[in-house]
Amino acid sequence: MRGPSVRIVAACLSSLLLAGLVATPARADEAPPVILDIGVRQISDRTDVVARFAARTLSRRVVVGLNAVTMTVAAADRDSFVADLLADPAVTWVEEDAPVHADAAGPVNDPFYSQSLDAAAVPEAWTWTTGSADVTVAVVDSGVTANRDLPAARILPGLNLVESGREPVDDDGHGSLVAGVIAATANNGVSAAGVCPQCRILPVRVLKHDADGGASGTSALAASGITYAAANGARVINTSFSTTTDSRLLREAVQYAADHGALVIGSAGQDDYRSDRHYPAATEPALAVAAALPNGLPAAGTNMNPLNSPADRWIDVEGPASLWAVAPSGTGGPLVGTSASAAAVSGAAALAFSLKPTASADEVRSAIVKTAGDPDLTGIGLVGEISPYLDVAGLLHSLGAPDTEAPRITSSTITLGVLGATGTTVLPQAVDDHGVYGFELVADGKVVDSTRDASWDRRMKLVPPAHYRGDWPVTLRAIDYAGNVTEKTYAVQVDTGAPLDVDGPVATELRPAANTRIRDTFTSTISGVTDPSGVASAELWSNGKLVGRDISAPYSLVVRTGSSNGAVTVIWRLTDQLGNSRDYSRTVIADSGGPAVSITKAPGNKAKVKGTVKVYVKASDPSGIARVQLLVNGKVVATDYRSAYQLSVNTAKQKKTMKIQIRAYDRLGNLRYTSARTWYRK
């Protein structure tokens, strides 16, 4: 998704679903109105509560399917209004409405996007089913517009909660891309196929396009969209939006959907790899989806589970981070971020219901999580915990999809050349009538390595026994989702006799230099590497964890430090063709913390200002300060590159209410904000 923030604005359903809206605009010099969500004891109390408090509100409505109403009041009246609400015998709770945002990243050049459906084993799943018109997926979003890849015949009438009485067409583009990822037509030569190309889409518009390029709405309207979808036959409800506020309305809406047999699938958001819970995805029994590349690594900025804290895990599964679909304009383009991931998982759930119509939402949810594959990320340092990656073929097989034919091995690379002590890399390939689940290498009666077929890196390592000369029998196994196995045994030529060379390779240069300050990601290289027996490989380790292996000079690998700070010890382990090794180490300094920054002189919070106002700032960082910026209402109005930092703003050109913040960048790109203060123009 594209927008940095999305607020859902409630609108009318019908007299049966959502009460009428009457709005009175606030004056420009007033603080923004406050939207309140209000729980009532029973459905019949909603109209009475609205009537009793109508005269004091700017707008009011009931919430679809729930014992709740939402009212908008002037900010100055908030406290007294809440007190009076809580004193009403029909009212059970009151909370401020939570803005939600659409969880899409900006456009990226993702080299793996074309592999995304393959990595999730979607083509294999299509050998069992491509979906059913009897399965409805609700897209609770900015609306859906029919296009050349998603015809109107597969889009149900739906509902527009933003503009009552109008068709739920898409004014932003986000909802149509989500719907396309879920259900775009297959084999028509247009864009890309949806995960469930035969299922139907129920559009429920709860987001509207904003001038800043995003979409907006409220949690009350989001809850109404979820309950409407559940009440109108949706088996799957996609919510590619989120808020960090644990809204009671969203909790009740998710439970309402579960009670009606629908599975809510939500995006986990992307806030620079944070682990803060996002709702409704984090609300049980919704399914929370993060974004990953086909190799299992987290996609840029996706939220993650807390590291080493199983009790706090809230993200259930990862899905593809970038998928193609057709926008309302008719052009194709990528949907990037956890919005795409949630849509892919929604399509997978729709395939599951198509295959097994009697399955419950809980059964499908459990099957999605249990069949997802854990990526092999050995040695990769991450700031959060990785969730298992969606496996759609495994999901369908677990729900009863038949598979009786064993795979057929087509190639392996096992017998290329004579094996020395370092062994060789095996690249297996096989075909199957449905899908190959994985491979195993068996030598001397033991499984020595294994890999998943859907893995981005399918390589396995075969290392022969020491001091051995002659043919060595090695068996390759290919296994499908039903456990059907095909084996092929190879006579591998091995020569690991006693070596004459007993020393590891030598190198002349290691980069970066000692104590270099780095941020997030850096490249380490080792050069001038020689050995009489020939260099077999160069492994790079970072703080005791394997980063990767390079087999051709010049040896160079990328190290990811995430948000860590402090010393990072990198070790290059050089190994020759006879198995001798030598280590070269270097220590660099990871710096991912933002600068120290503070305002030393400026009008205080809630100050009244006029004309040009100067703000004096102090900032420092071990890596040096790159620049200091003054932000007014989220926009940069002044930048200073030299201390002492002095920034100015002409308040006459700003809105009457101004949110003021200072942002400082160090020379590595880390940033930090001061706390916000509010000014009012005289």
Indicate if the pLDDT at residue 229 is higher than 90.
yes
Q: Judge if 556 and 675 occupy the same domain.
A: no
Q: How confident is the model at residue 339 (pLDDT cuts 50, 70, 90)?
A: very high
Write the CA distances from 463 to 60, 227, 495, 612, integer angstroms.
71, 57, 11, 72
pLDDT tens digits, one per residue of 465-488: 888 888 899 999 999 999 999 999
Domain range spanning residue 636? 596-681
With 0-12 CB in 10 A as exposed, 13-18 as middle and 19+ as buried, what is 514? exposed
Q: How confident is the model at residue 632 (pLDDT cuts 50, 70, 90)?
A: very high
Indicate if the pLDDT at residue 312 is higher than 90.
no
Indicate if the pLDDT at residue 374 is higher than 80.
no
Domain of 337, CATH number, reads: 3.40.50.200
Write the CA distances from 558 to 149, 372, 561, 591, 661, integer angstroms.
39, 27, 10, 16, 35
pLDDT tens digits, one per residue of 555-577: 999 998 887 888 999 999 999 88
Q: How confident is the model at residue 28 (pLDDT cuts 50, 70, 90)?
A: very low
Domain limit, last residue, from 397, 421, 446: 397
Asked, for residue 654, whether it belongs to a domain, the answer is yes
pLDDT tens digits, one per residue of 473-529: 999 999 999 999 999 999 888 888 765 577 899 999 999 999 998 888 899 999 999
- According to the model, what pLDDT value does residue 49 have? 95
Q: Judge if 539 and 602 occupy the same domain.
A: no
Q: Judge if 373 and 413 occupy the same domain.
A: no
- According to the model, what pLDDT value does residue 254 have? 98
Domain limit, last residue, from 465, 492, 519: 492
Asked, for residue 167, whether it belongs to a domain, the answer is yes
Q: Judge if 582 and 605 occupy the same domain.
A: no
Q: State the total domains in the chain.
A: 4
Read off the pLDDT of each residue in 257-285 and give the average, rounded to a whole number.
92
Asked, for residue 6, whether it belongs to a domain, the answer is no
With 0-12 CB in 10 A as exposed, 13-18 as middle and 19+ as buried, what is 258? buried
Read off the pLDDT of each residue in 105-115 and give the average, rounded to a whole number.
43
Set 101, 174, 278, 434: catalytic member? 174
Domain of 465, CATH number, reads: 2.60.40.10
Domain limit, last residue, from 590, 613, 629: 590
Active site residue 432: no
CA distance 245 to 260: 25
Asked, for residue 59, whether it belongs to a domain, the answer is no
Q: How confident is the model at residue 412 (pLDDT cuts 50, 70, 90)?
A: confident
Asked, for residue 246, whether it belongs to a domain, the answer is yes
Cα-based angle 534, 540, 543 (whole degrees, multiple of 5) = 150
- According to the model, what pLDDT value does residue 452 have? 79
Q: Judge if 127 and 142 occupy the same domain.
A: yes
Token look-up 């629908």 returns 262
Residue 471 β-bridge partners: 493
Q: How confident is the model at residue 252 (pLDDT cuts 50, 70, 90)?
A: very high
Q: Which of 63, 98, 359, 352 is nearest to 226 (CA)?
A: 63
The identity of residue 375, as a single letter, is P
Active site residue 598: no
Indicate if the pLDDT at residue 141 is higher than 90.
yes
Cα torsion 592, 305, 140, 254: sign:
negative
Indicate if the pLDDT at residue 388 is higher than 90.
no
Indicate if the pLDDT at residue 618 is higher than 70.
yes
Indicate if the pLDDT at residue 26 is higher than 50.
no
Q: How confident is the model at residue 375 (pLDDT cuts 50, 70, 90)?
A: low
Q: Judge if 514 and 533 occupy the same domain.
A: yes
Asked, for residue 93, whether it belongs to a domain, the answer is no
Indicate if the pLDDT at residue 454 is higher than 80.
no
Indicate if the pLDDT at residue 181 is higher than 70.
yes
Q: Judge if 438 and 521 occupy the same domain.
A: no
Q: Judge if 457 and 347 occupy the same domain.
A: no
Q: How confident is the model at residue 105 (pLDDT cuts 50, 70, 90)?
A: low
Q: Judge if 309 and 414 occupy the same domain.
A: no
Indicate if the pLDDT at residue 99 is higher than 70.
yes
CB 537 within 8 A of CB 575: yes
Q: Judge if 621 and 642 occupy the same domain.
A: yes
Q: How confident is the model at residue 456 (pLDDT cuts 50, 70, 90)?
A: low
Inter-residue long-range contacts of 149-153, CB under 8 Å, 24+ positions, other chains counted: 149/180, 149/184, 149/185, 149/188, 149/190, 149/191, 149/325, 149/326, 149/332, 150/176, 150/179, 150/180, 150/183, 150/184, 150/185, 150/194, 150/201, 150/326, 151/185
- According to the model, what pLDDT value does residue 447 have? 93
- Average pLDDT for the chain: 87
* Two structure tokens written together for 486: 């095909």
Q: Judge if 201 and 126 occupy the same domain.
A: yes
Set 37, 97, 110, 141: catalytic member? 141
Set 339, 354, 387, 455: catalytic member? 339
Indicate if the pLDDT at residue 96 is higher than 60.
yes
Active site residue 339: yes
Asked, for residue 641, whether it belongs to a domain, the answer is yes
**Least confident interval from 305-319, 343-357, 477-491:** 305-319
Asked, for residue 675, whether it belongs to a domain, the answer is yes
Q: Judge if 333 and 465 occupy the same domain.
A: no
- According to the model, what pLDDT value does residue 457 have? 57
